[in-house]
A and B are shown apart, each in its own frame.
Chain A
């Protein structure tokens, strides 16, 4: 085992945190701000036309921040990203495929 790899291994398990407490707290602040933005968007009528894309962007950003920093994908070996990424994509694919196919199949929703 080469020294480079050995140090990588060591880095992963032995060394101190991949980011400082300060970074973690900053991320938490950003997450809070993004959440507040989401709720703001929900309540402000002017934003309604773009609510769905806006929420998708905001929640996507939150999702990415947690995964990258709190779950350490940004710092860890990229094999983990290579495992999680495709599975997550397939998950999104299922949701979208089910929505499209069954929306077509079921027709317009009943008007209550």
Chain B
């Protein structure tokens, strides 16, 4: 049975690209448009990073060259790395491909939270611009993309460069977390009826796992960055040895993020390849189940391997061995993936187009990168390679020859779907060969240079090391690659100018996005498809079992019935993101701007919260799913809470690490007041009781009672905050400041951030309470109260941990 393109689609708003003027892109919440924005922005930053790389290559082409100064070179390698990772590969993989392809592949009309999606993009854009504006104010960041402390301390790197870097990364972190939370909820909750987890396209699997990794990896990074910002701005000593701390803490927090990050960059690429190789081999993916499990396993293990970046730091043989083993284990699921791709090609009837070429190059180059990775997993060997060009070669093969090639394959693959135009194959082959040859010319010799002892991050080297030949060779290769990228850009422009129109299914695809017109209509699917197997669209086109099953296309929300409700565009995402950027600008320029930013953020959140007037009429609620009768917002809330617990875990971990290592007192056991805090604890526990009663009242429809309980909860919260204010003041008077000792800084940071959460909770609950006066929180919107409640209880359980761990457990260690 062929799939009929719905009539409505032909009549209606058929092209997501053409709707509205240029300004409509500022307030768009259409996942496809946001994907396009992500793509354009990332490609723009890739141009910048590429120029930085080429300039560095010119400098390195000859020994003792004076093309760039040490200062400029250091800025360029720092920003090349930071840009490629945070502003190019990650937003391309998740933001661009995730947005463009994922919702279409699961048969959804949009992501779970369209406005949040727009918000992620705008935060990303503003964060990126904020970070790059550093070049306008005294030079770009220059401490390396992993910014090892204590070089990043203000004493060693004065000026604002590292400030822009650290605050920029915090802002970008918000974007990543919100975006991934959105994708996670979308995949969990918005799949088309019948699409079980084991029927999802493998690309969606990879986006799912990558999103989870963002949620667990970014909180530790954010904590690490907050410590860094505090060290630089208010003189704490989280990473400086003055008060007994160690800069190694940064390395741990950074790499707990940093290794999952590698898979955040790689998994979307794996996903793309798992789509393009089967499609152009005209075979189904080999070993679907093994692929899915391998994806999940890679994600899981990647959280326990961070130490392999730190073998040179002297963690000791036991930790070295443990991280070495866990790293080697991750090679097994990765191997499963590579061999499954190879097996997919076996006996294939190939469509040898550009996308397929890039995919094949990916498999080979990624495997090279993976195999050198096995070398770095072995500490004794890694110590001869770490910090050398061998490592540079390794991660460029993984991220450049791997992820980037996969993305190019993906762009060629989904281009007709996104734009409705075809790309020119001759230009395609040309840019493939230029980029592929240029890439390997540039990066393969780096293996040899690294084994020959050339260290990374040097702006110059002497002639006596015999490094000149390959460096010149690499520079030539880099320019070949640069020309290749130019040809790619020309191919894009040429395609956009061309008149040729792509059909809905140019590749005879296997997944649902090919069942709708190219480019897709705003609502994607006129009828939400029902899925009966993996490779759902292939099954619809060619499947034989079809007839024996139930009617295939059972319209769930037909366009004819009660119409398709698409969410309206919103101004608040861009507003909120601008507010957040102001917070960052204010931190560096003038603190008052920060307060303006905070105010804008708050108002925009309120605006967003009540924009639809009612909770529950939000489009994400439009259809529950057969398999998962959950509310997307509640799934999102729990995911957010889970991610937050990693934030607090990083703070608590830091407190525990530094506990008892102060060089000067007073410390916890001498100063903490148990009676006062016991009272505060009791107050907070009781507030949780009132909160749950408030929710029960709202659910019963007893708004007045509910409101009173809410006020009660917020009131107890205020009492708790008062106790904390008293405690902090008292400690300050006794000389324990943030800068005084390790206890001071870790205690105030942990308990302070908890207090900040209480404060946000109080504001949240009060906002709800006052909104209920206006009748904005009726019975059917009790969920709004439940979300506030979940947050409030989360703050409570964090306190339960803090109370025992910090206040009560200290006596023993002291005694």
* Direct A–B touching, Cβ under 8 Å: yes
Q: Give the B-binding residues of A (Cβ under 8 A).
A: 1, 5, 8-9, 12-17, 21, 24-25, 27-28, 31-32, 35, 38-39, 41-43, 48, 51-52, 55-56, 58-59, 62-63, 66-67, 69-71, 77, 79-80, 83-84, 86-88, 90-95, 97-99, 101-106, 109-110, 112
Report the bound CA distance from A87 to B213 in whole Å.
Answer: 10
B649 and A94 form a contact (CB under 8 A): yes
Report the bound CA distance from A25 to B783 in whole Å.
Answer: 22
B682 and A90 form a contact (CB under 8 A): no
A17 and B700 form a contact (CB under 8 A): yes
Interface string of B192-224 (1 = CB under 8 A from A): 000000000000000000000001100010000
Given A87-B216, A95-B656, the answer on whether A41 and B793 have CB atoms closer than 8 Å is no
B793 and A71 form a contact (CB under 8 A): yes
A84 and B681 form a contact (CB under 8 A): no
A91 and B246 form a contact (CB under 8 A): no
Residue in A closest to B688 when the chains form the complex, CB atoms: A70
Interface string of B398-435 (1 = CB under 8 A from A): 00000000000000000000000000000000000000
B797 and A67 form a contact (CB under 8 A): yes
A106 and B688 form a contact (CB under 8 A): no
Stretch at the interface among B67-75, B145-153, B313-321: B313-321
Report the bound CA distance from A106 to B789 in whole Å.
Answer: 41
Stretch at the interface among B86-94, B515-523, B804-812: B804-812
Contact of B678 among A39, A41, A103 (CB under 8 A): A39
Given A24-B689, A70-B691, A102-B249, the answer on whether A90 and B656 have CB atoms closer than 8 Å is no
Report the bound CA distance from A70 to B215 in whole Å.
Answer: 24
Interface string of B663-678 (1 = CB under 8 A from A): 1110000000010001
Stretch at the interface among B328-336, B501-509, B545-553, B631-639: B631-639
Q: Would you call B55 an interface residue if the criterion is a C-beta within 8 Å of the partner chain's C-beta atoms?
A: no
Q: Which residues of A contact B691 (CB under 8 A)?
A: 70
Closest 10 CB pairs of A and B: A87-B642, A91-B649, A59-B804, A98-B653, A17-B696, A28-B689, A95-B653, A9-B629, A55-B804, A102-B657
In B657-706, the 8 Å CB interface with A consists of 657, 660-665, 674, 678, 681-682, 685-686, 688-689, 691-693, 695-696, 699-700
Q: Which residues of A contact B692 (CB under 8 A)?
A: 24, 69-70
- Closest CB-CB distance, A41 to chain B, in whole Å? 7
A91 and B631 form a contact (CB under 8 A): no
Q: Which residues of B contact A27 (CB under 8 A)?
A: 689
Report the bound CA distance from A38 to B727 in whole Å.
Answer: 20
- Closest CB-CB distance, A17 to chain B, in whole Å? 4
B665 and A66 form a contact (CB under 8 A): no
Given A103-B657, A105-B248, A110-B661, the answer on whether A51 and B809 have CB atoms closer than 8 Å is yes
B246 and A98 form a contact (CB under 8 A): no
- Closest CB-CB distance, B701 to chain A, in whole Å? 9
In B753-797, the 8 Å CB interface with A consists of 780, 782-783, 789-790, 793-794, 796-797
Q: Would you call B610 an interface residue if the criterion is a C-beta within 8 Å of the partner chain's C-beta atoms?
A: no
A28 and B793 form a contact (CB under 8 A): no
A35 and B663 form a contact (CB under 8 A): no
30 A-B contacts, Cβ less than 8 Å apart?
A: A12-B629, A13-B631, A17-B699, A24-B692, A25-B689, A28-B685, A51-B809, A55-B809, A59-B800, A59-B803, A62-B797, A63-B797, A66-B796, A67-B793, A67-B797, A70-B796, A71-B789, A80-B635, A84-B641, A84-B645, A87-B646, A88-B642, A90-B303, A91-B648, A97-B304, A102-B246, A102-B249, A103-B657, A109-B661, A110-B244
A106 and B642 form a contact (CB under 8 A): no
Q: Which residues of A contact B642 (CB under 8 A)?
A: 83-84, 86-88
Q: Which residues of A contact B696 (CB under 8 A)?
A: 16-17, 21, 24
B624 and A1 form a contact (CB under 8 A): yes
- Closest CB-CB distance, B344 to chain A, in whole Å? 31
Q: Which residues of B contact A98 (CB under 8 A)?
A: 252, 653-654, 656-657
Contact of A63 among B244, B631, B653, B800 (CB under 8 A): B800
A87 and B215 form a contact (CB under 8 A): yes
Given A70-B688, A79-B635, A94-B220, the answer on whether A48 and B815 have CB atoms closer than 8 Å is yes
Q: Which residues of B contact A48 (CB under 8 A)?
A: 811-812, 815
Q: Would you call B608 an interface residue if the criterion is a C-beta within 8 Å of the partner chain's C-beta atoms?
A: no
B315 and A94 form a contact (CB under 8 A): no
Q: Which residues of B contact A69 (CB under 8 A)?
A: 692
Q: Would you call B230 an interface residue if the criterion is a C-beta within 8 Å of the partner chain's C-beta atoms?
A: no
Report the bound CA distance from A94 to B85 in whole Å.
Answer: 24
B663 and A110 form a contact (CB under 8 A): yes
Which among B246, B782, B809, B815 has the highest number of chain A CB atoms within 10 Å? B809
Q: Which residues of B contact A105 (CB under 8 A)?
A: 246, 248, 314-316
Report the bound CA distance from A31 to B656 in whole Å.
Answer: 25
